[in-house]
Structure 1
Amino acid sequence: MNVNAKNNLHSILVLGAGELGMAMLRSLANTTGTRVSVLLRSSTIESSNPEKVAHIQQIRDLGIGLVAGDLVDESIGTLANCFAPFDTVICCTGFIAGSGTQIKITQAVLEARVKRYVPWQFGVDYDLVGKGSGQTTWDEQLDVRAMLRGQNSTEWVIVSTGMFTSYLFDPAFGIVNFSDNSVNALGAWDNAVTLTTPDDIGVLTREILLVQPRLVNQVVYTAGETITYQQLADLLDKVLGKKVKRIAWSLAKLSQDLANSPEDIVAKYRVAFAKGKGVSWPMEQSFNVQHNIPLTNVEQWLQRNHK
């Protein structure tokens, strides 16, 4: 495959301009011969809030077009009309939009007969995870895959990225606690997790869409790093210059935590990752390693983000 192949993109609509959406827009902005737009609520585009005004100006400065639309409130037909003028739709709006939204977006993409769709699947290998992981939103991701595989009018590419690298260090997730220098392993110390930063996901998604021969109707893997919790603890020893405390949270404990708080999103994620199934893959399986594209690993992320 030739990653630097001739541009085969035309018009692209990115859904959402959050952390991943902005990374995607920055990556796509200078793609020769491509018109890139982003879908945002009209209330966001027209807001007088200084932060939102600055955000919209940042998007305009990239040369990105603005399209008004509401993925939650508007009908499938209305969204389909919005999507129809575009060759490629990339969904960067995740689970925050609520249950059922990813199915609704996919229905609208298929109704619009968009040529190519990159759904919000920037996460684990849902096929391997299967249903009943403990994280109910992951079940919806499998429904989206079934919809895409059950039709032949719209090409699709799923980009499996593993966990966002930053989430590994999110205090609410609780794997790494810098305040008391501890690491909590989910399930077992030899359980692994694959990680990619949003900026790297933006770069790789662009390369995956451009590569020749064209990638059609398949899952493509990325990996900034695949690391076990033991390796993570050892790395933190090195980076922090002191021994971190190691605590293993068993699957039984995490399952009980979820049973005690069945609507707790973090508890659901902890159980799903503790099962160790479909949440990591070998680096050699990743598009970036196969094409010699350097990404940010965990140590580099720590050096840039942890003071």
Structure 2
Amino acid sequence: MDNTALRYFLEVARSGSLSKASERLYVAVSALSRQIAKLEEEVDAVLFERHPRGMVLSDAGRLLAEHAQRSLLDAERVTEEIRGLSNGGRATIRVASSEGVAPHFLPQVFARFLKTHRATHFQLDVSAPSVATQRVREGASDIAVCFSVAPEKDIHVLYSQRAPIYALVRSDHPLGTRESVSLADLAAWPLAIDHQGVTIRQLFDIACSLEGLVFDPVFVSNYHAALQSFVRQTDAFTLTGYVTVRSRLKADGLAAVPIVNAELHQRTLQVQTMAGRTLPQTMQAFIELLTGAIHNPASLD
């Protein structure tokens, strides 16, 4: 199938209309319509269901979209690897991630990889876990590094490790030297927490419901660095994954204390790629380093 036609088809599928796809691609609506009609004739099936509010993929269209995404990415991979032969092995790795691993952990991994693959370039998009996964599913990012609590369709999980949730407090906080705490232990202290929609908050709310506990947060934010800063200046606690704060605990005067409630041990930190996609050699080497660093963060020291 013609790659241009497939690219046009995917954009119509993403945007849900010929007019929106036309604006994004700078291609006339009539040209897009002809390419879609050509594909439908080639596969002898209707690819879109036309509705008043837009165009929705048919069952045949969904199958073709899965093929088209992999086909275009494979073509891009081969082209980039061929170009890399003549420009010193240059490669671009596009990573989507949760906020928790973005400020410190991933830059450490990037820096370590560049010591052995100097021609590599990185692009990092930070978003909610569901958005990071969707970027990989659509081919906008090559790899997602994010927290997850459930399987995802059309996603291949290359690596998964339990990521328990910790209580983060000042190192001189009365709870700072404890080997572990329970949610009941934390109930006496002010809470700074992520907004609803992130995995930490979801699991915390479930655990509190099961324990019959009610917390009234003094500070809610979608920016984890602000929560950490607030904790440094007050007696409040916040919730975090260990890999998120490990490298900064001593420097920032913080302590990460394990929480014993089982519900807060249900999420995993995953390395995700598009199901069925063949990855370039440089990307495979990066993933090997990345998964090793998740399994043993001290390897980055």
Q: TM-score, normalised by structure 2?
A: 0.27
